[in-house]
Structure 1
Amino acid sequence: MNKATKLFSNEWISVFKSDKGFTYCQRKSIDSIAALLFRKNGENLEFLIHYQPLPEIKEKKYWDESYACPITGSIEEKQSPIDCCINEVKEEAGFYINESNIKQMVKNIATTQMNEKVFNFLVDVSGLNENEPTTDGSIFEKVAYNKWVSRQELENILENQFTLSSLHTLYLLFIKKNHVKI
């Protein structure tokens, strides 16, 4: 790893420049998780979409306009990705899960402009009780909401709406893991 010079820092993010001249951002909690929850409902499969405020892109029309995401969260210092997943699923979706509910995990790099790794989890919540999400109390999570959708609805969302890229990654992983015909 090359040495980097810190160019800017605040409570949430730092900007660095590597000795080779590459500039990148680093979040306070560097890495994160994304979790796509699914369940069998009779003969049908359903996927949980977590709608949260859209980042500040030019197409955004109002401050709390939401977009489709999996459950997400920052991995805290000394916390494992699996423990973070379990906590975030409880906090944002209201499900009490354990490692046996996690069916697959893959990791990827969030963007070319950051050093964040995203740990993507497929989580089966079939047969589990759905409780009220506890949230972290932030305004960001207070305006977020969840919606169960069918496979066809999810594919339509992926094709026609802004989404967090991890939602695409997780759906492709689900298709591969379950040998689903496209």
Structure 2
Amino acid sequence: MTRVKESIECWIFNRVTQKVLLLHVPISKDSSVPFWQPITGGIEKNESPLKACSREVVEETGLIINEQDLIGWQGAIRINTPTLNIKKSLFLGIINDSEVIISEEHDEYKWVSPKNISSSLYWDSNRETWEKIQTLIQSEYM
């Protein structure tokens, strides 16, 4: 049976330093390899993707971000596997601060130059979404 999951992915761009935030996921029961990723998380029942994104940003980084500073990508990204179908809403968060307090699901974070993001990522799906977000950052903020 195939599970269906709705989630968000949020890339945080610091307008001042011109860097992007990545979070490190250590080896765990859910992952046999450690990896770097943007903010990700599930959408709860009766929660909009925008509200889920705001909640996940605070939960995973301690950053308070105004909803008007979250730019949603038009349309959803779909990832389909034999056992899981994910509908992912994609966001870019624009901030001026770099003080991050990571959650227990991560063991470190780093601010990375946009040119070095792709080489830091483990998952192809993150590289694909980064391509979309990178275009938006370059056209609007660099």
Preserved CA contact (<8 Å) 1:36 1:170: no
| 2:94 alignment partner, one of 112, 124, 134 | 124
Preserved CA contact (<8 Å) 2:14 2:98: no
Find the aligned partners of 1:77 and 1:124 in 2 and give their Cα distance. 26
> Secondary structure, in 3 states, of the residue corresponding to 2:63?
coil
TM-score by length of 2: 0.79
Preserved CA contact (<8 Å) 1:69 1:164: no
| 1:157 alignment partner, one of 113, 120, 131 | 120
Unaligned runs of 5+ in 1: 1-15, 17-23
Find the aligned partners of 2:131 and 2:65 in 1 and give their Cα distance. 22
> Secondary structure, in 3 states, of the residue corresponding to 2:123?
coil
Greater relative CO, 1 or 2 (CA 8 Å, sep 6+): 2
Runs of 4 or more, structure 1, over 6 Å off, are none
Provide the residue aligned with 2:22 in structure 1.
49
Preserved CA contact (<8 Å) 2:77 2:89: yes
> Secondary structure, in 3 states, of the residue corresponding to 1:110?
strand
User: What are the equivalent positions in structure 2 for 1:72-91 lying under 5 Å apart?
Assistant: 72-91=40-59
Report sequence identity in percent.
26
CA RMSD of aligned residues (A): 2.4
Q: Which of structures 1 and 2 has the bigger CA Rg?
A: 1
- 1:64-84 CA-to-partner distances (Å, cap 9, x unmatched) read x42011101111111111111
Find the aligned partners of 1:82 and 1:101 in 2 and give their Cα distance. 11
What is the Cα deviation at residue 131 of structure 1? 4.5
1:169 corresponds to 2:128: yes
What is the Cα deviation at residue 88 of structure 1? 0.6
What is the Cα deviation at residue 129 of structure 1? 6.0
